[in-house]
Structure 1
Amino acid sequence: MWIFLTDSFLSIVDKGDPTGSTLLVRARRSGDIERVFPEAQVIEGAGTDYRYRARILRSQVADTIAESVRKIEYGNFKNQVAENDRHDAYFDVWRAMNRFQEGTRRK
């Protein structure tokens, strides 16, 4: 699952925990995981495309993301993204999904 927050982009997957009690929360930018999960023990590297990752209890991930939804007080998500380069990256995703919605492809 990809989660786009105004100050963090996370990829959350169920990967490699035999007990099923944790999820792997991944990020591309330093600090993104910690902004959402301040107590997380973030590992940098590990040889995959996401530079940062942390194992977090499944229940904590669910509760924290749900709380983010409860706190929404804006009418336009993109306008709330303060970092210029993050805004531009998110806008690229928005644009790709708009083309997807319209059934068009990048030319």
Structure 2
Amino acid sequence: MADCELCGVARPTLCPVKVDVPAYRNAFPTGMWMGICEECTNASHEANGLRSKADGKKCYLCGIKGVDLFTTDIKIPDFSEPYYKDKSRLLCGPCLEAAENAYNKRQKEKAHESHH
């Protein structure tokens, strides 16, 4: 089990997303792998299509400051009614693109699974 980087939910499998984290660029020059659940990849896909700019200090995934940030609306599961809490996470353009790549890869896997 691993926790999703955006919503914090523990899932048995996550979609791998390669993110360039400036704080760890010396150790990981090609980027760090982070796990995002399928619901969050769907939400980031929708956010990538909208690209609604937001005011904020840093990206939620990579922590970069001073760049354009975009709102990603995610649903965090909760055990009390209404069973989901709506949260907005701010992601930079490169992180949205990385999540979009993970979304596209997952959609290809789903299409391939349905053929077997």
Q: Name the structure with the higher helix share.
A: 1
Q: Name the structure with the higher strand share.
A: 2
**More relative contact order in 1 or in 2 (CA 8 Å, sep 6+)?**
2
TM range (shorter): 0.3 to 0.5
> What TM-score does the superposition give when structure 1 sets the normalisation length?
0.36
> What TM-score does the superposition give when structure 2 sets the normalisation length?
0.34
